[in-house]
């Protein structure tokens, strides 16, 4: 970027912006943005990006070359192109070129069509956006311009319900004080309206004539992706004015409830924050994908070895035997030695034997994954009727990974809970309200409660609000001053916006559900927040409208954990009202409130023990003189260029002291339906669940008990709250010591220190007696995640049954997930519903988004999405387990059938002089993987299941083979290819031995090449068809049709290709004329085919019979039990429900955002009873899984170089 050196004359004074020489671009990067209004010539010098966006990848000219280049980045496609080139060389081509080009072109075409379709819709979307019309002020006149033609420095007029064209500095609007209202759903998924305001100096520029003369210059931060931050300065009329995010309208927002507004373009097109946040998501691959890449390389190495062996054989044969036949079998012209003949033979055999890895493998895998994705989308049991939301597989590449998850990382609010807040209880002046008692003085349960409180006295009450304790309303009606002050605080101390569509119909727009619940409670009890301006708040108190002067809002942030307002009532009295977290506010109370503090603290403990979110309320009277002095210091701090936030925090800290306690509120955030049952079921499947939440420790711990993650039967719950590295390390060390001490009798005499230095520490820790849980705070986690302590934290956490991380940032959530991925080598799943969960969702192997109350950003970043946490058990235990099972069976069978098919050529090479002669007809080679064997294996890969879905849910231990990667690994791969090679040996040598002596019905010799080829091919198709019949565990009409239909198609094509008609038309292509009819008419041939089939299949049948009887796995046991139950018609036994008797300290997590106070002041404003889990979780039939798990843990390698504490791999 070129930066002009000259500086405008008018800035050569004290109010001038900083000199150009202060910030110079480095390597073309932009260090600051300068934009001058109404001066395109000046702004064009900086070569800023235009407002045209481009998300498409291709155009008509570049599509073919670019798309082909991208497709050939895939190793498999390049491999098959290389084979095609080899087949075009006559000296080495042993197969016709179409045997490779047909499937290759088919794959490339299908992929290209898919890519072209996707890009067409991207082009369509780009054109639609770029061609939107906008009103731009050019030469003093508003002109219609397409979005793509808007430039930095232009002034744009927006009208109600229009999209914002670029990132704009708001100059003026139709609303008083330069206010405007926007909806940011496209940016953060939130549908509630937000307020923005122009700075006062430009808010009066409503006339076009004034705007045309506006020549202010903005110097601000360079383009970035921070949606909630903006820092800049406006220089105009020799003055400078600070700019913040509250003055900005970002591209993607929609103007609402505002007739018009004007804005100055600061960032355009790709520089806008919306586009800066649209970075590519990291491509996720499954463990099976990575294993397949390794296996393909091994197979290629095996292919080269076979080629070398056969090439050496060719060279030796040509040298020792071939020279005797040169008279009538001369070498080709280019061949001058036996060595060169062997060299050419090598490439010929590479071509022939390439079908050990056919291109159809990759196509079939994608088809199967697509089918699995549709099953998830179509699952009615994952459809939320209330929200009319189906489950959605947003990717097709990770389905089998769903069957291998070991760790789940979950958000709390909105994921485990409903994020719908209800005002439940409160404590006012030492008295608790909200409980209802019967005539005997016992606390009434919900079903025993009388009618809710009648708020009919209040015409402005919210009819949806329910409260059960009538004594609170009586206190309000009797004029109790403490109760009135309590609700007055709730009606004033907030950042809610009120909208009144019809008289008396109030709609509150709250930035957090907590605030909405509190203001609504005050509204129903007679303190109705009615409206606000930048400097006033109007409240109807018991029917009387009272307007308070709003002097200051001391805004909330994650460090302060409180917010305050300073107001002046009509009598001129100034009072500060404050609400915040108890851990913060209780330390800032006046000493005279100690007795009330003790009582309120007891109430807080009681509320928190019930899982309620608590909040403390306090107030403080200020005299006029002190306030004026404090306001001046606040103003100076707000104008500071450096450390502005720290200075403001210090000023706020001063005034928020020696406050008088009013009471506390308790809000209920209910658990989602089915959460405890889901967590219990997933735990039985050996899936560890970690909760990562921004909420406070007490609330998170209580929710942990509510959803049965934590239980009173646990040996101990470790709580890590250290503020320094040494404190955190010591707390983690003590936790590990306690776990080891309780397991010393299991340790065979080893001391703790001996075990600590052992290379199997994690295995020992994870086998400790008892159940433990770990709770760690965000500030402690920051130290625990440091490089020198992360292993200690991970060892301790992984030894615990449950882990809860509280007060964590979005970045810390991602770091915890990355830590487990890095050292445990386990499949991770992250699930959340808010924008703060996006980084965690993207970091995990699998990301799941819940479409809840916090917008759709988590869904947009996820791989799978649904509306309720309970659907996770079905996604993993049914769809995930089946997908993994199907993919593993598909791959095992696919490699088997292709080795059985290809290795026949290898054995034949020893009997044909290593001449690279194929056994089969070339058309059979072409159609084998495309027609004869493709559909049966696809049907198995899409529809197969070992046990029904109900059994998958009843026996969660069935999930463990996926976690241990038992169904497809290197061992299973070698077993498959060994079976394939065994089959190929029998497939070749049985017909070869029979044909050596056999005769036809007329006494002539049966042995000829074409008859042998037909016999071997027919035997192969029948054997692999019978084998897939044995492999199929769940038969559908489709399986029957595809398996027996493929056999019928084989015979139909065989007889057609060997017919006289095709030979007459294409004599050079169809040379096996009449061979099928003659060969298959011989009883000897059919006897050979039957013998080959029986010898190939019987060992498999015998092995599976013995394994089923001697060492059945859990799925075999479940199927047997199912058959027994059907015969006996026995009822399932139900697991008893485990109840919780204890309670734990909890509290309120202030789910708030920073910045709204300043904005307003400036005018801005757990069903286990249905689970027949039986005793199979402890049966000996599943003990092999446990032994394998222990073996896997014991053999785990060190996680990092030089580390002495390896973790389970």
Contacts of 562 (CB under 8 A, 6+ apart): 556, 578, 579, 580, 581, 584, 585, 656, 1150
* Cα dihedral 1141→1147→1151→1157 (10° resolution): 160
Closest C-alpha to 405, from 868, 958, 960: 960
Closest C-alpha to 617, from 655, 667, 577, 657: 577
Rounded-to-integer distance, Cα 538 and Cα 530, Å: 6
Contacts of 1186 (CB under 8 A, 6+ apart): none
H helix intervals, 910-969: 922-927, 934-943, 949-954, 960-963
Strands 846-850 and 827-832, sheet pairing: parallel
Evaluated on CA atoms 933, 939, 941, 947, the torsion sign reads negative
| φ, ψ dihedrals at 314, nearest 5° | -65, -45
Rounded-to-integer distance, Cα 451 and Cα 453, Å: 7
| Residue 80 and residue 359 in contact, taking contact as beta carbons nearer than 8 Å | yes
Q: Calculate ∠ Cα 598-604-607, nearest 5°.
A: 145
Q: How far, CA to CA in Å, does 265 sit from each of 49, 272, 1162?
A: 12, 10, 22
Rounded-to-integer distance, Cα 886 and Cα 938, Å: 10
Rounded-to-integer distance, Cα 471 and Cα 486, Å: 15
Rounded-to-integer distance, Cα 556 and Cα 554, Å: 7
Rounded-to-integer distance, Cα 277 and Cα 271, Å: 10
| Residue 315 and residue 993 in contact, taking contact as beta carbons nearer than 8 Å | no
* Cα dihedral 7→9→14→17 (10° resolution): -30
Rounded-to-integer distance, Cα 659 and Cα 208, Å: 51
Q: What is the largest CA-CA distance in the chain?
A: 126
Residue 833 DSSP symbol: S
Rounded-to-integer distance, Cα 276 and Cα 475, Å: 54
Residue 968 DSSP symbol: S
Q: How far, CA to CA in Å, does 892 sit from each of 483, 1107, 1179?
A: 72, 18, 28
Backbone torsion region of residue 965, taken as left when φ is above 0, otherwise alpha when ψ lies between -120 and 50, otherwise beta? left
Neighbours of 748 (CB within 10 A): 6
Query: Where are the strands (E) in 308-378, listed by range?
Result: none
Rounded-to-integer distance, Cα 397 and Cα 365, Å: 9
Looking at the DSSP assignment, which residues form a beta bridge with residue 159?
A: 260
* Cα dihedral 453→456→462→467 (10° resolution): 0
Strands 405-410 and 827-832, sheet pairing: parallel
Q: Is 411 a catalytic residue?
A: yes
Q: Exposed, middle or buried by CB within 10 Å (0-12, 13-18, 19+), for 1128?
A: exposed
Contacts of 329 (CB under 8 A, 6+ apart): 322
| Residue 1157 and residue 553 in contact, taking contact as beta carbons nearer than 8 Å | yes
* Catalytic residue, candidates 154, 271, 411, 1031: 411
Residues in the chain: 1209
| φ, ψ dihedrals at 589, nearest 5° | -95, 155
Would you please indicate which residues are annotated as catalytic (active-site) residues? 411
């Amino acid at each position: 970027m070129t930066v002009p050196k000259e500086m405008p004359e008018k800035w050569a004074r004290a109010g001038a912006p900083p000199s150009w020489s202060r910030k110079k671009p480095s390597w073309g990067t932009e260090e600051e943005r300068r934009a001058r209004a109404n001066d395109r010539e000046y702004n064009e010098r900086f070569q800023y990006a235009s407002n045209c966006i481009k998300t498409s990848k291709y155009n008509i000219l570049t599509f073919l070359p670019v798309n082909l280049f991208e497709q050939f980045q895939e190793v498999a496609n390049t491999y098959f192109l290389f084979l095609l080139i080899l087949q075009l060389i006559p000296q080495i081509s042993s197969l016709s070129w179409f045997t490779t080009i047909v499937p290759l072109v088919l794959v490339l075409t299908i992929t290209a069509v898919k890519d072209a379709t996707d890009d067409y819709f991207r082009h369509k979307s780009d054109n639609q956006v770029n061609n939107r019309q906008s009103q731009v002020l050019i030469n003093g006149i508003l002109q219609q311009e397409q979005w793509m033609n808007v430039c930095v420095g232009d002034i744009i007029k927006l009208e109600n319900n229009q999209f914002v064209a670029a990132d704009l500095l708001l100059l003026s609007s139709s609303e008083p004080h330069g206010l405007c209202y926007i909806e940011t759903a496209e940016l953060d998924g939130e549908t509630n309206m937000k307020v923005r305001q122009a700075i006062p100096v430009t808010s009066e520029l409503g006339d076009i004539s004034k705007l045309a003369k506006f020549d202010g210059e903005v110097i601000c931060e360079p383009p970035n992706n921070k949606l909630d931050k903006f820092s800049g300065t406006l220089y105009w009329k020799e003055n400078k004015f600070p700019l913040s995010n509250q003055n900005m309208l970002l591209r993607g927002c929609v103007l609402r409830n505002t007739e018009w507004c004007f804005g100055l373009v600061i960032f355009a097109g790709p520089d806008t924050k919306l586009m800066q946040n649209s970075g590519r998501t990291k491509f996720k691959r499954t463990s099976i994908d990575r294993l397949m890449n390794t296996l393909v390389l091994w197979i290629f190495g095996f292919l080269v070895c076979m080629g070398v062996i056969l090439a050496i054989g060719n060279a030796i044969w040509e040298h020792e035997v071939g020279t005797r036949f040169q008279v009538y079998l001369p070498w080709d012209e280019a061949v001058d030695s036996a060595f060169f003949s062997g060299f050419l033979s090598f490439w010929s055999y590479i071509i022939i034997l390439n079908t050990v890895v056919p291109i159809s493998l990759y196509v079939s895998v994608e088809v199967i994954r697509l089918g699995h994705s549709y099953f998830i989308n179509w699952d009615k049991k994952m459809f939320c009727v209330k929200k009319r939301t189906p489950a959605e597989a947003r990717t097709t590449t990770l389905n089998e990974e769903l069957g291998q998850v070991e760790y789940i990382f979950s958000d709390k609010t909105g994921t485990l809970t409903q994020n719908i807040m209800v005002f439940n209880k409160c404590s006012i002046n030492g008295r608790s309200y909200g409980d209802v008692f019967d005539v005997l003085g016992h606390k009434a349960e919900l079903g025993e409660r009388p009618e809710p409180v009648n708020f009919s006295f209040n015409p402005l009450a919210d009819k949806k609000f329910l409260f059960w304790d009538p004594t609170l309303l009586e206190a309000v009606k009797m004029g109790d001053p403490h109760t009135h002050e309590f609700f007055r605080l709730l009606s004033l101390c907030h950042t809610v916006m009120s909208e009144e569509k019809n008289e008396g119909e109030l709609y509150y727009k709250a930035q957090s559900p907590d605030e909405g619940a509190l203001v609504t409670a005050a509204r129903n009890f007679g303190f109705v927040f009615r409206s606000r301006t930048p400097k006033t708040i109007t409240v109807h108190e018991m029917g009387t409208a009272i307007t308070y002067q709003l002097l200051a809002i001391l805004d909330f942030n994650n460090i302060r954990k409180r917010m305050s307002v300073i107001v002046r009532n009509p009598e001129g009295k100034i009072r500060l009202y404050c609400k915040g977290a108890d851990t913060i506010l209780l330390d800032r109370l006046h000493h005279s409130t100690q007795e009330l503090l003790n009582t309120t603290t007891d109430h807080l403990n009681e509320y928190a023990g019930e899982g309620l979110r608590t909040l403390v309320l306090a107030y403080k009277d200020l005299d006029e003189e002190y306030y004026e002095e404090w306001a001046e210091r606040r103003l100076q701090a707000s104008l500071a260029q450096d450390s502005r936030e720290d200075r403001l925090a210090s000023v706020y800290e001063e005034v928020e002291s020696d406050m008088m306690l009013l009471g506390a509120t308790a809000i209920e955030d209910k658990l989602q339906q089915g959460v405890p049952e889901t967590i219990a079921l997933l735990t039985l499947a050996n899936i560890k669940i970690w909760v990562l939440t921004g909420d406070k420790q007490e609330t998170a711990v209580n929710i942990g008990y509510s959803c049965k993650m934590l239980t009173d039967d646990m040996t101990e719950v470790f709580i890590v709250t250290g503020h320094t590295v040494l404190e955190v390390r010591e707390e983690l060390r003590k936790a590990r010591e306690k776990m080891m001490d309780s397991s010393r009798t299991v340790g065979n005499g080893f001391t703790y220190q001996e075990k600590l230095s052992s290379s199997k520490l994690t295995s020992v820790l994870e086998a400790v007696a008892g159940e433990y849980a770990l709770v760690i705070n965000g500030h402690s986690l920051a130290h625990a995640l440091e490089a020198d302590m992360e292993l200690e934290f991970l060892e301790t956490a992984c030894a615990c049954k449950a882990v809860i991380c509280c007060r964590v940032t979005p970045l810390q959530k991602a770091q915890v997930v990355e830590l487990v991925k890095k050292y445990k080598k386990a499949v991770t799943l992250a699930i959340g519903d808010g924008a703060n969960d996006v980084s965690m969702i993207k970091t995990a192997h699998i990301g799941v988004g819940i479409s809840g109350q916090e917008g759709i950003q988590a869904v947009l970043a996820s791989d799978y999405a649904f509306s309720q946490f309970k659907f996770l058990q079905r996604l993993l235990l049914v769809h995930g387990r089946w997908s993994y099972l199907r993919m593993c069976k598909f791959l095992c069978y696919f490699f088997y059938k292709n080795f059985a098919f290809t290795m026949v050529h290898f054995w034949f090479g020893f009997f044909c002089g290593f001449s690279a002669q194929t056994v089969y007809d070339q058309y059979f080679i072409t159609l084998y993987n495309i027609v004869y064997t493709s559909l049966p294996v696809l049907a198995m890969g899409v529809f197969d299941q070992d046990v029904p879905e109900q059994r998958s849910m009843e026996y969660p231990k069935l999930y463990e083979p996926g976690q241990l990667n038992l169904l497809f690994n290197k061992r299973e791969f070698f077993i498959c290819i060994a079976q394939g090679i065994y089959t190929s040996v029998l497939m070749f040598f049985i017909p070869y031995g029979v044909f050596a002596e056999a005769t036809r019905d007329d006494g002539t010799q049966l042995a000829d090449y074409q008859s042998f080829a037909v016999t071997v091919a027919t035997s192969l198709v029948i054997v692999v068809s019978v084998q897939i019949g044995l492999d199929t565990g769940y038969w559908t009409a489709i399986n029957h049709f595809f398996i027996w239909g493929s056999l019928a198609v084989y015979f139909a094509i065989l007889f057609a290709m060997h017919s006289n008609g095709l030979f007459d038309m294409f004599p050079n292509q169809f040379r096996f004329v009449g061979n099928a009819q003659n060969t298959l008419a011989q009883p000897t041939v059919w006897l050979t085919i039957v013998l080959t089939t029986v010898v190939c299949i019987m060992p498999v049948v015998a092995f599976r019979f013995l394994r089923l009887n001697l060492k059945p796995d859990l799925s075999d046991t479940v199927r047997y039990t199912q058959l027994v139950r059907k015969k006996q018609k026995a009822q399932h036994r139900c697991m008893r429900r485990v109840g919780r008797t204890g309670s734990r300290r909890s509290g309120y997590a202030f789910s708030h955002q920073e910045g709204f106070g300043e904005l307003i002041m400036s005018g801005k404003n757990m069903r286990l009873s249905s689970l027949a889990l039986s005793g199979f979780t402890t049966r000996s039939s599943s003990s092999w899984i446990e032994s394998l798990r222990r073996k896997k843990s014991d053999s785990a390698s060190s996680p990092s170089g030089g580390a002495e504490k390896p973790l389970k791999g």
